[in-house]
Amino acid sequence: MGRAPCCDKNGLKKGPWTPEEDQKLIDYIQKHGYGNWRTLPKNAGLQRCGKSCRLRWTNYLRPDIKRGRFSFEEEETIIQLHSILGNKWSAIAARLPGRTDNEIKNYWNTHIRKRLLRMGIDPVTHSPRLDLLDLSSILGNSSLYNTTASSQMNMPSLLGLQPMVNPDFLKLATSLLSSTQNPNPSSSLIQDLNLSAQIQSGLSPLVQTSQIQAPIQTPVPSCTTMTTTATATTTDTSRVSPSVPFFNEAQLMDQPTSFGQYPSNNDMTDFGDQTFDQWQSQEFLSSSEGLVGSNPILGYCGGSHHTFMDPSISDNSNFGSNTTSTGGGQQSYVNFAPSVMSTPSSSPTVDERESYCSENMMMINKFEIPDFLDVNQFMLAQTNC
DNA sequence: AAACGCCCCAACCGCGCCTAG
DNA sequence: GCTAGGCGCGGTTGGGGCGTT
- A109 contacts: CB under 8 Å, gap ≥ 6: none
**Nucleotides of C strand lying within 7 Å of any protein CB atom:** 5-12
| Predicted pLDDT at A268 | 34
Question: Cβ distance A133 to A164 under 8 Å?
Answer: yes
What is the pLDDT confidence band of residue A263, given thresholds at 50, 70 and 90? very low
Question: Cβ distance A227 to A221 under 8 Å?
Answer: yes
The 10s digit of each residue's pLDDT in A264-303 is 333 333 333 333 333 333 333 333 333 333 332 333 333 3
- A7 CA to C5 C1' distance (Å): 11
* Residue A167 phi, psi (nearest 5): -55, -35
The 10s digit of each residue's pLDDT in A181-194 is 333 333 333 333 33
The 10s digit of each residue's pLDDT in A203-260 is 333 333 333 333 333 333 333 333 333 333 333 333 333 333 444 444 554 443 333 3
% of chain A residues with pLDDT over 70: 30
What is the pLDDT confidence band of residue A55, given thresholds at 50, 70 and 90? confident
Mean pLDDT of chain A: 51
> What average pLDDT does the segment A127-140 reach?
55
- Tell me whether residue A228 is exposed, middle or buried, using C-beta atoms within 10 angstroms of its C-beta: 0 to 12, 13 to 18, 19 or more: buried
* pLDDT surpassing 50 at residue A175: no
Residues 28-87 in A having a C-beta less than 7 A from any atom of strand C are 35-38, 50-51, 54, 87
Q: Which SS3 state, helix, strand or coil, does residue A305 take?
A: strand
| Predicted pLDDT at A179 | 39
| Predicted pLDDT at A122 | 79
Q: Which of A33-42, A158-167, A303-312 has the highest mean pLDDT?
A: A33-42
**Nucleotides of B strand lying within 7 Å of any protein CB atom:** 7-17
What is the pLDDT confidence band of residue A196, given thresholds at 50, 70 and 90? very low
* Residue A83 phi, psi (nearest 5): -65, -25
- A15 CA to C16 C1' distance (Å): 13
For the CA atoms of A111, A125, A370, A210, what is the dihedral angle to 10 degrees?
70
The 10s digit of each residue's pLDDT in A95-132 is 888 888 888 888 888 888 888 887 788 787 787 766 65
| Predicted pLDDT at A62 | 81
A6 beta carbon < 7 A from strand C? yes
Closest nucleotide to A103's CA, by C1' atom?
Answer: B9
